[in-house]
A and B are shown apart, each in its own frame.
Chain A
Amino acid sequence: MSKRFLRPPGARDERHFQASCIRCNKCLVICPYRSVRTGTLFDGFTNMGTPIIDPRRVPCYLCMKCPPVCPSGALDATLTDKRDVRMGIAVIDKKTCYAWQGTLCRSCYEICPLFDEAIAMDDALRPVIDEKKCVGCGMCEHVCPADPSAIIVKPMGEK
């Protein structure tokens, strides 16, 4: 299996997505934040032309403009509530996360669009992900001050 990428909100499971994305660029064009880039051969042959989101570059701001423009059902056009998005799940690397290493930092907690739900602070002021709530938008990964980011969104279906 080739490398997994974050797909725009509403994307079906990767196999179904690959089969139904006709590489038309509509989601990229509609995105006001330029979050979506076009996959190239370097991303793998089957990913050429598909929409890819690299959160470290630009995360998804969950404006929900792209699902309805998808012509082929690769993105679920009926998806309107950002809480129902499941692009991936954020995972914290406790060895590099400033808060988990004892330095005060709440960058990811503050930026999370599902504030205090998808990322909560535990009693020791360390961020904790609620996997049921996290939509995988990547805003946390985008703002993480650690380099490389200590919080990374794992695309849906990736082990």
Chain B
Amino acid sequence: MKLPLMRRIAQTAFLCLLVAIPILNEREISFITGTLYSMSIGPVDITDPLSGMQVIMLTLSATRALFVSMLIPILITFVLGRTFCSWLCPQNLFSEISDILSRKVLRQRRALVPPTPIPRWGILALVIVGSLVLGFPLASLISAPGIISLQISTAVFEGTVGLETGLVAFILLAEFFVLRRFWCKYVCGVGTVLGFFRCGKTLKVTFREDHERKCIRCGACSRACQFDLDPVKGKLYPLCHNCGDCIAACAKSTNGKNPLQFRF
């Protein structure tokens, strides 16, 4: 099966899961409970490292359960990179679809700002300072995937949605009309924190050319990248979240010779 199709299936299935969890919980089937801030699958707890990190900073302590529950996403990210963002995150799914539509309707535009991780580091720093000043984990209010799953849960249990939903709508509108993919690219704190957990052996998009794997300089890879990264030039990380769109585009253009590949 082709990579982009597999990914779209994974994203859609995960969104369906986020809708199914509160509906099942409401019927008192609670094998899986929680939201993207924190989820329990049977006896296993998984907590968003950004939320957990904020709690640790604010209280200068952590229960063992909190610490252990943050380890699962961190370990997955160490091995597979930010695949949570590209394969599961509902905000990324919405933004990708909005971007595809935007490119069709408003024609392709280049991003106004070149890809750089500096804004997201600055924003994370601001969020952390803001949290310390306000005394509560501010990131919980501006974590788009968390908001989406929390609001689905709120809608099921309380029949309303909170004001935070407006943020998701704002992101989609702004991305559609003005700044392509700005949230995932320049803002999202969840992704920024996950991006810290990398090492030399983390799965990455690798450009390796030899006589069998010839690059034809078609540029299909960078055109396929919604973050305007250029895999041939390299320096993809920490912005690249391993969606694999460039690899699929490369395979298509080079007839499977693929100088661009996922490697550990």
Contact = CB atoms under 8 A, between A and B. Distances in A.
Interface stretch (A33-41, A83-91, A98-106, A113-121): A33-41
Interface residues of B, number: 40
A16 B34 contact: no
A19 B137 contact: yes
Interface stretch (A70-78, A132-140, A149-157): A70-78
B45 to A, nearest CB: 6
A25 B35 contact: yes
B135 A19 contact: yes
Interface string A11-43: 000011011111111101110101001101100
A92 interface: no
A32 to B, nearest CB: 8
B38 A19 contact: no
**How big is the A interface, by class?**
20 to 34
A37 to B, nearest CB: 6
Contacts of A26: 33-35, 38, 40
Contacts of B40: 26, 69, 71
A71 B47 contact: yes
B134 A46 contact: yes
B34 A22 contact: no
Interface stretch (B103-111, B156-164, B190-198, B246-254): B156-164
Contacts of A19: 55, 58-59, 135-137
A4 to B, nearest CB: 14
Contacts of B136: 18-19, 21, 46
A20 to B, nearest CB: 5
A45 B134 CA distance: 10
Contact of B59 (A25, A34, A73, A77): A73
Contacts of A40: 162-163
A48 B134 CA distance: 13
A25 B39 CA distance: 10
B153 interface: yes
Contacts of A38: 154, 158, 162
B150 A25 contact: yes
Contacts of A29: 22, 25, 30, 33-34, 153, 157
B30 to A, nearest CB: 7
Interface string B52-69: 101100110111011001
B54 A49 contact: no
B150 A49 contact: yes
A46 B138 CA distance: 9
Interface in B14-66: 22, 25, 28, 30, 33-35, 37-38, 40, 45, 47-48, 51-52, 54-55, 58-59, 61-63, 65-66
Contacts of B22: 29
A8 to B, nearest CB: 15
A46 B136 CA distance: 7
Contacts of A45: 134
9 contacts: A22-B37, A24-B35, A25-B154, A26-B34, A46-B134, A49-B141, A71-B65, A71-B66, A73-B61
Task: Please name the 9 residue pairs, one residue from A and one from B, whose CB atoms are nearest each other, closest first.
Answer: A24-B37, A19-B58, A71-B38, A22-B51, A24-B38, A73-B63, A23-B140, A18-B136, A72-B55
Interface of A: 15-16, 18-26, 28-30, 32, 34, 37-38, 40-41, 45-46, 48-49, 69, 71-73, 77
